[in-house]
Amino acid sequence: MLIVQKYGGTSVGDLERIASVARKVAAARDAGHQVVVVLSAMSGETDKLLQMAHTMVAHPDEREIDMLLSTGERVTIALLAMKLIEMGYPARSFTGRQVGILTDSAHTRARIERISAERIRASLDAGEIPVVAGFQGIDEKSDVTTLGRGGSDTTAVALAAALKADACEIYTDVEGVYTTDPNLVPHARRLKKISYDEMLEMASLGAKVLHSRSVEFAKKYLVPVRVLSSFKDAPGTLVTKEDAEMEQVVVSAVTYNKNEARVTLMGVPDRPGIAARIFGPIAEARIVVDMIIQNISDGGLTDLSFTLSRSDLIPAMEIIRKTAREIGEREVKVHEHIAKVSIVGVGMRSHSGVAARMFETLAREGINIMMISTSEIKISCVMEAKYTELAVRVLHDAFGLGEEPGAVSEE
Q: Does 78 contact its own copies by CB under 8 A?
A: yes
| Residue in 3, 12, 28, 79 binding its own copies, rule: CB under 8 A | 79
Q: Does 81 contact its own copies by CB under 8 A?
A: yes
Q: Does 52 contact its own copies by CB under 8 A?
A: yes
Options 78-86, 173-181, 287-295, 345-353: segment touching its own copies (CB under 8 A)? 78-86
| Residue in 1, 27, 31, 56 binding its own copies, rule: CB under 8 A | 56
Q: Does 98 contact its own copies by CB under 8 A?
A: yes
Relative to beta strand 193-195, strand 237-240 is parallel
SS3 state at 138: strand
Q: Does 86 contact its own copies by CB under 8 A?
A: yes
Residues 8, 24: Cα–Cα separation, whole Å: 14
Residues 168, 196: Cα–Cα separation, whole Å: 14
Options 47-55, 254-262, 280-288, 303-311: segment touching its own copies (CB under 8 A)? 47-55
- Show contacts with its own copies in window 115-174 (CB under 8 A): 142-144
Residue 281, classified by CB atoms within 10 Å of its CB into exposed (0-12), middle (13-18) or buried (19+), is middle
Q: Does 95 contact its own copies by CB under 8 A?
A: yes
Residues 242, 201: Cα–Cα separation, whole Å: 14
Neighbours of 266 (CB within 10 A): 16
Nearer to its own copies, 82 or 291 (CB): 82
Task: Tell me which residue of 343, 313, 152 sits closest to 252, measured CA to CA.
Answer: 343
Options 87-95, 157-165, 205-213, 218-226: segment touching its own copies (CB under 8 A)? 87-95
Binding residues for its own copies, rule CB under 8 A, total 38
Q: How many residues does the chain have?
A: 411
Residue 372, classified by CB atoms within 10 Å of its CB into exposed (0-12), middle (13-18) or buried (19+), is middle
Contact by Cβ (8 Å): 396, 357: no
Nearer to its own copies, 67 or 287 (CB): 67
Contact by Cβ (8 Å): 168, 6: yes
Q: How far is the CB of 39 from its own copies (least distance, A)?
A: 12
SS3 state at 402: coil
Contact by Cβ (8 Å): 166, 144: no
| Residue in 19, 106, 293, 332 binding its own copies, rule: CB under 8 A | 19
Nearer to its own copies, 12 or 371 (CB): 12
Relative to beta strand 301-309, strand 331-344 is unpaired
Q: How far is the CB of 173 from its own copies (least distance, A)?
A: 21
* Footprint on this chain of its own copies (rule: CB under 8 A): 15, 18-19, 49, 52-53, 55-61, 63-65, 67-68, 70-71, 74-75, 77-79, 81-83, 85-86, 92-93, 95, 97-98, 142-144
